[in-house]
Amino acid sequence: MQKFFPLLLVLVMACSSGRQENSDKSASGVSSTSFTLSDLQGEWQQLTEQDDGTYIIFRPCNADNMMVQINSDTLMIGWGQDASFALIKSFYIDEAGRLVLSVHDQDENIAKTYYMQWEDDNEPITGWFFYGLDEWPVRMAHESILYKYTVVQQPCSECWDDCEEEE
């Protein structure tokens, strides 16, 4: 029994250190213990960085701007020309301060994981990792601050030859 006690102690410590993020503060300063899905509710629109470092909302002529919408426990991702729907099963804050969302994609009937990080301490701006942590995050702004960004609509003449757009 004395030989098993140190092993049991090590296992308990190892398991408890993996959940330490529940009491740590995330990069946005929000304690993960107080973080709820209501903090993400609403619509998030993709921001496009310009050469001068400013951001705009770019609306392509042949698709919608990428967006995320969270309503209760449902995650909808508008990919441009199509959308996917998923049920949020669980979430937590990882060691890097990112929100980890475990979802069930209803279209593909599989489990997926998405990551989100706060990009700004003062504004609801996030970076979403849709394609894994090896890719750059997609920068998104919450609907409550979209008025701060210029909307640029791509002319339809850049997409179609027979465009009847007013010039």
Give the model confidence (pLDDT) of 150-161 as tens digits: 999 888 777 777
What percent of the chain is predicted at pLDDT more than 70? Answer: 75
Distance of alpha carbon 94 from alpha carbon 29, whole angstroms: 14
What's the whole-number mean pLDDT along residues 39-49? 93
Q: What does the pLDDT read at residue 147? A: 96
Neighbour tally for 72: CB within 10 Å: 10
Which amino acid is it at 25?
K
What's the whole-number mean pLDDT along residues 96-101? 92
Domain ranges of the chain: 21-153
Q: What are the angstrom distances between the C-alpha of 110 and each of 46, 62, 105, 133? A: 25, 29, 5, 19
What percent of the chain is predicted at pLDDT more than 90? Answer: 56
With beta carbons less than 8 A apart as the criterion, state whether 26 and 43 touch.
no
What's the whole-number mean pLDDT along residues 30-43? 71
| CATH hierarchy code of domain 21-153 | 2.40.128
Q: What are the angstrom distances between the C-alpha of 143 and each of 96, 125, 138, 150, 155? A: 26, 10, 16, 13, 24
Run of H or E residues at 77: strand 74-78
Question: Which is higher by pLDDT, 14 or 127?
Answer: 127
Distance of alpha carbon 138 from alpha carbon 31, whole angstroms: 23
What's the whole-number mean pLDDT along residues 87-96? 94
User: Residue 166 — very low, low, confident or very high, per pLDDT cuts 50/70/90?
Assistant: low
User: Residue 165 — very low, low, confident or very high, per pLDDT cuts 50/70/90?
Assistant: low
User: Residue 65 — very low, low, confident or very high, per pLDDT cuts 50/70/90?
Assistant: confident
